[in-house]
Amino acid sequence: MSDAIIESGNVAAAMAVQLARAEVIAAYPITPQTPVTEKLSELITSGEMDAEYVAVESEHSAMAVCIGAASAGVRPFTATSSNGLLYMSEQLHWAAGARLPIVMCVVNRGIGAPWSVWNDHQDAISQRDAGWIQIFAKDHQEIVDSTLKAFRLAELTHIPVMVNYDGYYLSHTYMPFETPEPEQVDAFLPTFEYKHALNPERPESLNTVTLPDARRDVKSIQRGGYMDLRHNLHEEMRLAIKVWQEIDQEFQKVCGRGGAPIIDPYRCDDADFVVVAMGSLANQFRDVVDRLRDDGLKVGVLALQIYRPFPNSIIAEALQSAKHVMVYEKGLSYGYQGALYGDIKSALYPYPSRPCLHNFIVGLGGRGIPTESLFQTVKTACVQDEQMSPAQADEPRWIGLQL
C-alpha cells in the first residue's frame, strides 16, 4: 500500500484507472470531469501508462469508442458529467444491452436548461434505468477503491458500471487517500479476456435485429428473443449485488480495505431516526449526527453505496428498527418525489415494520448545503414529525429555497 497521497478526486480516479491497466481511454472534456482524462493523457504521454488515448468530438462518440474497444476484447474507460452523460444516452443503452464490461466515472453535475456547472445527482438519476450498475462514492478513498472494484464487477457480470462522485465537493477538493501497489491490483484484477471478442477466425452474430420470439440459431440451439434477453440482464443485474459483496471481500484480503460495499451505517445501531443519503452528503451528515447525539437525540446516517441494482432487502432490513427515516437527496422525479425516496418507500412496503418516511430535496444546481442547516432540519424533524400525518410526511420538503 502506498503512503497517503493528497490530491483531487479527479486525480484519484485517474490513478485508479492507471492501476487497473485500462487499455483505451476515450476522452471528451466537460466540467467538472475534464481533469480525469487530462491526467490520464499525461500518464500515457509520459510512458507511465500503456494505453491508447482517443480524443473524440463528442460524448456520444466517447461511449462508441468504449463499445468498440470492449467488443474487441480490450479494457476501456471514459468519464463524463451532466449533459455529456445525456448525450451518451443512446449508447448507454446499447452498451448495457450488448453486455459490454465498460467502466465510466460520472462526476455529478446539474443538467441544463438552465445551464449549471455545479453539483447535484440529476444526471446519474436520469439514467438509472439504462441498464448500468451505479455506484456512489462519498470520499476520495472510495473513488479509488470503487473504480478498481468496478472493473472487476463489470468483467465478471458483463454489465457496464458507472462510478459516481460529486462535482467540486469531491472532484476538485484535495483529500488524503491511499492506492494499492500495482502488484496487489494485478492479483485482484486479472487481465481482461472477453469471450465474445471480435475475431475473424471465430465469427459470431452479435446484436442483430432480434425477433420478439425465441428461435433456433444456425446450430439449432434455441436462442431467446428480445424480451428474454431483457429478462436475463435484469436477473443478472440483481445477482450483481452478491457479486459486488464477494468482490469487496476479495479486495479486503488483497488490499486491506472494504467491508461496506452496499450500505455504510454510522451510529445506526440504536438510532430512532436514520438519515439516508448518497455521495459526499452522507459524509457531511456524520458531523450532524455527532452533534445531535450530543443533544440526546438517537440519530444515525446510512450511506447508500450502490444504487442500481437497488439493494431493496438489505436497506429495508437495515431500517427495521428505526422509527423515522429521512431521505436527503440531490435529485428528484419531477411531478412526484425524490427518486431515492420512492425506491426506499417501495423497498419497505413488504416488511411488517415500516418507519415513517420523510423526503428532503437539497443542493440542486450546487445550492449550498450548510451543515448548520442540515442540523436544524433534522433536529426539527425529530421533534415535530411525530405530529405529521403520513400524507404530510410523504410530500418532499425543499431545503434551502430562496424564493
How far apart are the C-alpha atoms of 229 and 98, rounded to whole Å? 10
Phi first, then psi, for residue 359 (nearest 5°) are -115, 130
Closest CA to 137 of 281, 314, 287: 281
How far apart are the C-alpha atoms of 58 and 44, rounded to whole Å? 21
Domain extent listing, the chain: 5-188, 263-398
pLDDT value of position 71: 95
Closest CA to 163 of 145, 185, 188, 186: 145
pLDDT value of position 202: 84
CATH of the structural domain 5-188, one choice from 3.40.50.970, 3.40.50.360, 3.40.50.300, 3.30.2270.10: 3.40.50.970
Sequential DSSP letters for 243-282: HHHHHHHHHHHHHS--S-SSEEEES-TT-SEEEEE-THHH
How far apart are the C-alpha atoms of 245 and 8, rounded to whole Å? 27
Q: Phi-psi bin for 34: left (phi > 0), alpha (psi -120 to 50), beta?
A: alpha
380 in Cβ contact with 345 (< 8 Å): no
Cell of 388: 405529521
What three-state secondary structure class fits 5? Answer: strand
pLDDT value of position 206: 77
Q: What is the mean pLDDT of each run of 10 residues along the chain (403 residues)?
A: 89 98 98 98 98 98 98 97 98 97 98 96 98 98 98 98 98 98 97 87 79 82 90 98 98 94 97 98 98 97 98 97 96 95 96 91 96 95 73 85 90
Question: What's the mean per-residue pLDDT of the chain?
Answer: 95
pLDDT value of position 393: 72
Residue 297 pairs with which residues in a beta bridge?
A: none
Cell of 290: 455527532
SS (H, E, C) 170-224: CCCCEEEECCCCHHHHHHHCCCCCCCCCCCCCCCCCCCCCCCCCCEECCCCCEEC
The tens digit of pLDDT for each residue in 309-353 reads 999 999 999 999 999 999 999 999 999 999 999 999 999 999 988
pLDDT value of position 214: 84
DSSP 364: G
Alpha helices by DSSP H, 265-370:
280-294, 312-318, 339-348
pLDDT value of position 267: 98
DSSP 82: H
Contact partners, residue 90, CB within 8 Å, separation at least 6: 60
Please give the CATH topology (third level) of the domain spanning 263-398. Answer: Rossmann fold (3.40.50)
The tens digit of pLDDT for each residue in 233-253 reads 999 999 999 999 999 999 999
How far apart are the C-alpha atoms of 95 and 93, rounded to whole Å? 6
Matching fold, domains 5-188 and 263-398: yes
pLDDT value of position 390: 66
How far apart are the C-alpha atoms of 155 and 190, rounded to whole Å? 10
pLDDT value of position 385: 66
How far apart are the C-alpha atoms of 11 and 3, rounded to whole Å? 16
